[in-house]
Amino acid sequence: MTDEARLRLAESRRLLDTGDVDQATTLLNQLTRHPDRDVAGEAWLLIGTARYRTDDEAGALAAWQEAANAGGSNAWLGSRRVAEQLVRDGKLEDSIAAYREADRRAPPDERGAIANRIAWLLKETGHDFASRRQFNRARGAYGSYAAYVTWGLIAICVGVYVIDTALARGDSGGPLTQAWILFQPYVAKGEWWRLITHAFLHAPLAGGGFSILHILFNMYALYLFGPVIEELYGHVEYLAIYLLCALGGGVLTIVAMPGSPVLGASGAIFGLFGMGFTVWRRRHLVLSPRSRMILSQMGPLLVINLVFTFAVPGISWTGHIGGLLVGAAIGLLAAPSGGTTLAGMWTTPQTRGLPTGERTAGVVGRAAVYVGILLVLVAGAAWSVNQVQVGFLR
């Protein structure tokens, strides 16, 4: 795609955004004859959007079909939008054929969602056997997600535990425990990293047996629930969420229980529990059977773990509740970037907006949520430290 064509497409999008549909369409009509199929296909996609915005659904359908016929890298988007319009027109059988064409041309990471749409349409039209086959395809696409961050977190926690246990002397833990455990007086001296590093420790504070059960339970929980959240939010956001939940547990601990030393990944994992529960209740997500089964059990699981938290001596309720509150807040305020909703399957181009603009707005909105929660946690930690300093001056 040449720079000139790219600029003319950008100008057409700007005109559409400002409501100047006629001028945008005039400019786009010229681009439909461009020798670059990507340029021509993108122009037809935008013409379809322009026609849809003026309630010319038949014209929009024809334009999107031209985009599909153009054969460029966006041809699959043309077929998908044709299929969506055919659903709105009630032509479900024709829509299935259009979705199959979109599936044939789509990038690999888009095929799981398209397979789900085909499956629902097949089920709606009475093709139960074919529907089950499509759902199986969708499960395979979703199940292939590689949860690199979760695996990395587990590897770090296990590695830290092995090293620290090997170097430990008595029940006070090894050198990593001494350097990383969360204790408010240490934080007040400027060792802020302890608010995060405590979540990677499972050192033998009260005997090896308890320590082994502690890390085994936490790592198993992370192995089960981490990949679900990582798939929904992506690798980078998931890591930020995990660290914020760990920080939330640490901050509530130094605020509410400043005299108690704390370590363990439980706070961060409770944050994943809270996020899974709120996302499951608030969003209507299309998920693999495994993910759906896990998230559907979040309510009872939370109740059991909260009872366990307050009933068993020696467990840091502040770490668990702090992480839980942060995770629940993020789940309420930040929509998953990688989840497909049932409603989103049939959104119109008008509500969908331009892909780049929508992605940018979504990223900015979620980043604002993460930064806002971080600022609240930093303020809470600063208040706790200030209380120690004020008490010392008195």
CA angle 168, 251, 325 (to 5 degrees): 115
Nearest in space to 294 (alpha carbons), one of 233, 235, 223, 343: 223
Nearest in space to 115 (alpha carbons), one of 91, 77, 142: 142
Q: How many Cα atoms sit within 13 Å of 174 on the Cβ side? A: 17
d(CA 195, CA 390): 21
Cβ–Cβ < 8 Å for 241, 256: no
DSSP three-state, residue 259:
coil
Tell whether the torsion through CA atoms of 335, 279, 326 and 220 is positive or negative.
negative
329 is written with which tokens? 């807040």
Cβ–Cβ < 8 Å for 361, 308: no
Find how far residue 341's CA is from the centre of its chain: 13
Q: What's 159-182 look like in SS3?
A: HHHHHHHHHCCHHHCCHHHHHHCE
The answer for 19, left when phi > 0, alpha when psi is -120 to 50, beta otherwise, is: left
- Amino acid found at 117: R
**Catalytic annotation, residues:** 266, 320
